[in-house]
Amino acid sequence: MIGYNVVGQRIPKLDAAQKAMGRAEYIQDVRLPGMLFGKILYSRHAHAKITAMDISKARALPGVHAVLTGKDIPPRMRMGFYKDNPPLKADKVCCFRDEIAAVAAVSEEVAKKALSLIEVEYEPLPGVFDPEAAMEKNAPLVHEAHKSNVLKLPWKLHYGDVEAAEKDSAFVAEDRFTTTWVTHCCLSTSGAVALFDASDNLTVYSNTQIPSLAQKDFLETLAAMDLKNKRVRVIKPVIGGGFGSKLDTYAYEHIAILLAHKCRKPVKILFDRKEEFEATSTRQPTVIYIRQGCDKEGHLTFRNIRMVLDNGARTSWGATTPSVMMMPITSLYRVPNVRYDAKCVYTNNTYSQAMRGYGNPQATFAIESCMDMLAKKAGIDPVAFRRINQNEPGDVTPQGFKITSCGLGQCIDAVEKELAADQPLGEGEGIGVASLIHVGGGARIYKSDGCGAILKMDDFGKVDIFTGGTDMGQGLDNMIAQIVAEELGLLAEDINVVHSDTDVCPWDVGAHASRSTFVAGNAALGAARRAKQTLLAFGARLFEVAPEDLVMENRTVSVKNDPEKFMPVDKLLRKAHFSPGGTMLMADYFYDPPNENMGKDFRCNLSVTYSFGVHGVRVHVDKETGKVLVKNYVAAHDVGRAINPMLLEGQVYGGVIMGLGYALSEEVMIKEGQIKNPNFRDYKLFTAKDVVPIKAPVIETHDPDGPFGAKGIGEPGCVPTAPAVANAIFQAVGVRIKDLPITPEKVLAAIQEQSKGS
């Protein structure tokens, strides 16, 4: 094995000291001279006509600079890929989250006061809040012009012959599972500041995960405002948590732009926590019908899944989560025949967005719960059942995914060992396992899956690297710094990573799909290699040797096998720079991974490589109360290579605890479209007191395409958590909970039902 000096080291996050001192500046901390404060008025009804609106009192309030309503929205201004969402709604509201007016004022207090002076009259309409009910013939239409509540989206695939395979199956298991709304709960609430210069060029400060795509959205907004040929600059302050929540642009950003243009002043909109719960998106809820079969030996024969997704009243990226659900459905374990059909259905509820795992946790909950049910029918131990069906390197899955590196088997080994699965179980104890597959080498969702990098070296041997990638706390800065430092023989502290400004940073598709280490990392590596080539060519002339005879290590360029000939990198750089006809050392690289867009039948190799993992959990269930206690947890992942084991463990621990919240406690409670628990007291996140012992074995399969062998690992930690817990509960007390979250009430009711039956 090759030894590395920087890659593989537990180097603290580059921005950790700033953050520890309270000096990192988030959107909350952005203040510009003359800045106004914007506030948004939301609907009071889940579904209603707006019959009258009077803004005169709000406009007359001293300190108010502008009041906007749906009537002020240019007709072409629509948000989201389905273009069903104007930033302010004019005639009709379709959910409580619908924005209907906005104010800019000298302070938040004045803006809030102004909102309270806006008078709105509604004519309530019957609502529909259940996606299956919304598919019925006489259901109220959420959008009349759409003519149906079912979105026109193509989520339907069939590989092989599911019906024939089912006939030939020795065992079949089937059931209905549901997953509900949960939300990101970024500790920093959402916000944006928009300002125009004298020529109507726009700058937006926003804690976005998609600076380049946000730039495009904002350009479209400017075009709709008849501001042609203008420039848009997106600046990211330090991001206080992402988890997918910032993968789209939102009404507050577009409203801030409209207000800033109207007032000719910077306008800031910052959410409070209640608003963060009520007006940002959730994880996509699902209703899942699954049938799975296997032969006598336990080989999977088919998987047949039908889903109904509550799209809510507007469309954001939640409606495309089926594209990623296809991945576990077609490719988790070897399953030759697969059918999948998903319908997204409008309701008068809130709407969903990307959230860590992007549909994968929902699909994996059904698949892996059903795997245990099938194993039981076949009389095979659940772990052995998974080994029989595990993916292997070289596999091509029914969807066309080419499995290259794959450590799923080693992950199973690690979980068995660390969970001490052979140890006897106490009263009320059970263990459960569940596996995952996820994209680990980018994901070609858009036409490009690329990321740019620009690198320059200064006269002191230091590097500035401008990346399109986004660090939102997950540690991309370190990945890039450690990769570049390794390649150039420098230390991580020599590398300054700039990732916050579209005026200077190159293009990138965004921080999603666990793609940043792989894609932004490969882009940085490509730029570093080019810089190294130039520098070594210069050094070779100086030392009168071939470039291949030089090595860069310990901040020094030296001639192999000739210890007398060496020069510190900074000195060499100065020589290059200050010689007559000298050169500055700069390099760029655009890495677009060789993965494929989905075809019409969804077949493709979506990612260059795939990450795998197996989670195992030991629980105790209190039969008197239904309370589930997680005694210990093992989350083993095939990560290719750990660029920084400490930050990797942080991703796994954070993912697992988020996943345990999904499994056991978290739920945005919505009644007739209204969110009942928009605060941290009633939305049950895990706290420090709830932390369970977690082990995170790292399996390194050294992926041939990853930077130094690395694959993506941002999302997997929360993917198979819920089914692992559900499977453990089944083993502990014999009840199968099919609806998330698995609250004590549900467990207790199931135990009582079971004892009635027996």
Residues in touch with other proteins (CB under 8 A): 10, 12-13, 15-26, 28-29, 184-189, 238-243, 272-273, 472-475, 646-647, 649-650, 653-658, 679-681, 685-689, 691, 694
Dihedral (C-alpha) 556, 561, 562, 563: value to the nearest 10 degrees? Answer: 50
| Closest to other proteins by CB, 120 or 652 | 652
CA gap 602, 358 in Å, rounded: 17
| Closest to other proteins by CB, 37 or 196 | 37
Tokens of 588: 């760029």
| Closest to other proteins by CB, 493 or 562 | 493
What DSSP assignment string belongs to 502-554? TTTS--B--S-TT-IIIIIHHHHHHHHHHHHHHHHHHHHHHHTS-GGGEEEET
- Strands (E) across 31-164 are located at 36-42, 48-54, 64-69, 92-93, 99-105, 119-124, 156-159
Radius of gyration of the chain (CA): 27
Q: Distance from CA of residue 130 to its chain's centroid? A: 26
State in angstroms the smallest separation of the CB of 590 from other proteins: 28
State in angstroms the smallest separation of the CB of 554 from other proteins: 23
State in angstroms the smallest separation of the CB of 100 from other proteins: 24
Q: What is the largest CA-CA distance in the chain?
A: 92
| Closest to other proteins by CB, 69 or 470 | 470
State in angstroms the smallest separation of the CB of 687 from other proteins: 5
| Closest to other proteins by CB, 12 or 744 | 12
**DSSP structure class, residue 716:** G
- Listed in sequence order, the DSSP H helices in 44-146 are 56-60, 108-116, 131-134
| Closest to other proteins by CB, 13 or 113 | 13
Query: Under a CB-based contact definition with an 8 Å cutoff, are residues 233 and 203 in contact?
Result: yes
SS3 content of the chain, % helix, strand, coil (to 5): 30, 25, 45
Beta bridge partners of 586: 456
State in angstroms the smallest separation of the CB of 686 from other proteins: 8
State in angstroms the smallest separation of the CB of 715 from other proteins: 13
State in angstroms the smallest separation of the CB of 355 from other proteins: 12
CA gap 533, 546 in Å, rounded: 12
CA 343, 348, 353, 359 dihedral sign is negative
| Closest to other proteins by CB, 228 or 689 | 689
State in angstroms the smallest separation of the CB of 696 from other proteins: 9
CA gap 18, 401 in Å, rounded: 42
State in angstroms the smallest separation of the CB of 512 from other proteins: 16
Interior angle at CA 568, CA 564 and CA 573, nearest 5: 130
| Closest to other proteins by CB, 16 or 53 | 16
Query: Residue with structure tokens 């699954």?
Result: 290
Tokens of 114: 């102004």
State in angstroms the smallest separation of the CB of 688 from other proteins: 4
Half-sphere exposure of 572 (CA within 13 A, CB side): 27
Tokens of 701: 């399969």
Query: Residue with structure tokens 């395409």?
Result: 705
State in angstroms the smallest separation of the CB of 116 from other proteins: 18
| Closest to other proteins by CB, 409 or 717 | 717
Phi, psi of 749 (to 5 degrees): -60, -40
CA gap 558, 546 in Å, rounded: 12
State in angstroms the smallest separation of the CB of 516 from other proteins: 14
| Closest to other proteins by CB, 178 or 677 | 677
| Closest to other proteins by CB, 322 or 475 | 475
| Closest to other proteins by CB, 473 or 709 | 473
What DSSP assignment string belongs to 348-377? SS--B---TTTTHHHHHHHHHHHHHHHHHH
| Closest to other proteins by CB, 20 or 420 | 20
Query: Under a CB-based contact definition with an 8 Å cutoff, are residues 442 and 515 in contact?
Result: yes
Half-sphere exposure of 505 (CA within 13 A, CB side): 28
> Do you find a cis peptide bond into 741, omega within 30 degrees of 0?
yes
State in angstroms the smallest separation of the CB of 332 from other proteins: 24
State in angstroms the smallest separation of the CB of 697 from other proteins: 15
CA gap 362, 679 in Å, rounded: 24
| Closest to other proteins by CB, 76 or 274 | 274
| Closest to other proteins by CB, 243 or 385 | 243
Q: Which of 165, 128, 168 is nearest to 148 (CA)?
A: 128
State in angstroms the smallest separation of the CB of 505 from other proteins: 19
